Structure 1
Amino acid sequence: MITIIEALVPICFAIASGYVIKHLANVQTNVWSGIEKITYYVLAPAILIDTITRHSLAELPWTSIIMVTNTTIFACCLLLAAWLLFDKSLSKPTFTSVFQGGIRFNTFIALAITNALFGDEGLVIGALVAVTMIVLINILCVTTFCLLIKSDNSASPSLTSQLTKNPLIIACLIGLLINILNIQPPKAIADSISLLGRAAFPIGLMAVGAGLELRRLFSDWKPSLLASIVQFAFKPMVALFIISYFSLTPITATVIIIFFSVPTAPSSYILSRQLGGDHQSMASIITAQTMLSFITMPISLWIANQFFIFNSNL
């Protein structure tokens, strides 16, 4: 537990720093929007390419990772769909926010925790876990909007556009291609990508903090509560149950639990605005989950450690 807390403290500090800098230094919202885009389109892809190209992938359990992650996500979808049928007071636009809050994940926080606990070995596994879920989650979220909300917004991105232009998916595919073909990039290029990648975590986490809206922390409490129960209780428990049927290494299993224990993605807000969802409740869910996750994540990881028992100091 001490190791978990020690790994989370710098992450909490980076997020808190972003919030404080934005408000005390009066850094405008459009500046942080630019920082988010740089992180999303440049820095995060750089660290994924750098990590994947520098490590062997031959012995990683691809099939098992896909089965565990996708089955867990589908289980969450079924639970949320059942709730929509049961709770008639929940509007369809608000449900789309609950849905995103229950199945999406914050890539920056997940990779930062994975790196803090397991270093490069964990990052390689984390990159593969992320890409197996990003594709499926984008399909499910966009499909949910299409089924529940009729939008006349011609600027709304199509599913194909969402997937083919996702920089994290593109980065993982580039890294995999370089690794599989055993291509050796020139040292100057490899070092440049590595340098950009090292900036991803601090800048990305500060951007997460800057995006928090504490004034909305207790508004829209019902959607926030429902999404958080799925995100922080149901999802990790289902993943633990499914993992028990696969022969995964303790590190791989724990990395999967990390990705199923982090708050939802800030990009959920953007998608909600683009596709006609309840973006105000989405903002509340993002803020509430980000704050709550630093209480729930140590608990989830401690429970996971009791199952996998590979490091008594975790």
Structure 2
Amino acid sequence: MYNVFLALSPIFILIVMGWIFQRAQFPGPTFWPMAEKITYFVFFPALLFLSLYQADFSEADFPVLIVAVSAPMLAVCLLMLCFRPLIRISDPAFSSLFQGGLRPNTYVGISAAYIFLGETGLTLSAMVIAIMIPLANTISVAVVTRMGDNHSKGWLRAFKSLLTNPLIIACAAGIVANLSGLRLGLGTDEVVGILSQASLSLGLLAVGAGLEFRGLVSKWLPIFCSSIFKLAALPLLMGYFALWLGLEAEVVFVAVIFASLPCGAAAYVLARQLGGSLDMMAAIITVQTVAAMISMPLILGLFSG
């Protein structure tokens, strides 16, 4: 486990650096929202597209991987919905708890996979993301639309946002380009490669800059419950299920990386769109990001042998 922690330490150091920079207002208060925006819409999609464009889908047994990723996610969603009557919070607050128990911070995941497995990790990450992100977004839109303050409206807007999600578009484009045999020319692949190189470091710094520690104590129970679902139940279920399906060790390991991730900032954007609890969502993202510094080495240590 110690070796896993050491391998993950650069990721968490960059997150802490981002938080320090934001607190010091360096390079300026308007920089970090713009940095996150360009990473989300340009740099990270470029990385996903390039990884899927260059991937050999036959190596990872992609149809089995779809089942290995989807089934545990659906099972945890069902568990959270069954848990709803047991916790006394508002529907908007529960919608944020639900997102926190499901959605991954892909910046952290793809960085971790690259640290452990290099280019193979990037390729496998893109495959997992191509399954996980559309599924997590679709389910989250449905739940937050139903339980958020705007539950009587917003379906069309929410699903329009889903269909125009840059990560989903990049994954779809990469898969289509790969399977169709399309070849990029005129230096396009080099441009995409250069853009993708900015995604990991800037994305992790932006994660740290977005952390907010005020008002956490009063929300401890939903935060705790959401974190148990996301940081323990989902990765353990996905890891052992993937092993049972007979996937190769590297594929299982990357699937577990993405299942063990803290919730990402995209959940906050969706909560704002559809009337979820913004304070609860921000608190869950912050606590899970910090807690993952302990939980990820523990979980990954189980599947690193």
Tell me the C-alpha RMSD between the 2 structures: 1.8
SS of equivalent residue, structure 1 residue 185: coil
1:68 is matched with which residue? 68
Q: How far 1:5 sits from its partner (Å)? A: 2.0
SS of equivalent residue, structure 1 residue 177: helix
Greater alpha carbon shift after TM alignment, 265-274 vs 238-247:
238-247
1:24 is matched with which residue? 24
Q: How far 1:83 sits from its partner (Å)? A: 1.1
d(CA) in 2 for partners of 1:150 and 1:209?
28
CA deviation string 1:267-313 (max 9, x = no partner): 111111111111101110000000000100000000122xxx3xxxx
1:312 is matched with which residue? none
d(CA) in 1 for partners of 2:214 and 2:177?
46
1:182 is matched with which residue? 181
1:14 is matched with which residue? 14
Q: How far 1:203 sits from its partner (Å)? A: 0.3
2:281 is matched with which residue? 282
Query: How high is the TM-score relative to the length of structure 1?
Result: 0.92
d(CA) in 1 for partners of 2:55 and 2:132?
21
**Counterpart residue identity of residue 39, structure 2:** T
Query: How high is the TM-score relative to the length of structure 2?
Result: 0.94
Q: How far 1:183 sits from its partner (Å)? A: 2.1
CA deviation string 1:206-238 (max 9, x = no partner): 000000012344341111101001111111221
Gaps spanning 5+ residues in structure 2: where?
none
Work out the number of aligned pairs and report it. Answer: 305
Percent pairwise identity? 32
2:252 is matched with which residue? 253
- Aligned pair in 2 of structure 1 residues 232, 135: CA closer, same or farther (>3 Å)? same
SS of equivalent residue, structure 2 residue 101: helix
Check the 8 A contact 2:32/2:209 in 1, yes or no. yes
Gaps spanning 5+ residues in structure 1: where?
310-314
1:127 is matched with which residue? 126
Check the 8 A contact 2:141/2:159 in 1, yes or no. no
Q: How far 1:31 sits from its partner (Å)? A: 2.2
d(CA) in 2 for partners of 1:77 and 1:135?
15
Check the 8 A contact 1:156/1:274 in 2, yes or no. no
d(CA) in 2 for partners of 1:207 and 1:149?
27
CA deviation string 1:83-137 (max 9, x = no partner): 11222x1211110010000000001001110011011111111111112111111
SS of equivalent residue, structure 1 residue 103: coil
d(CA) in 2 for partners of 1:158 and 1:118?
38
Q: Does 1:110 align with 2:109?
A: yes
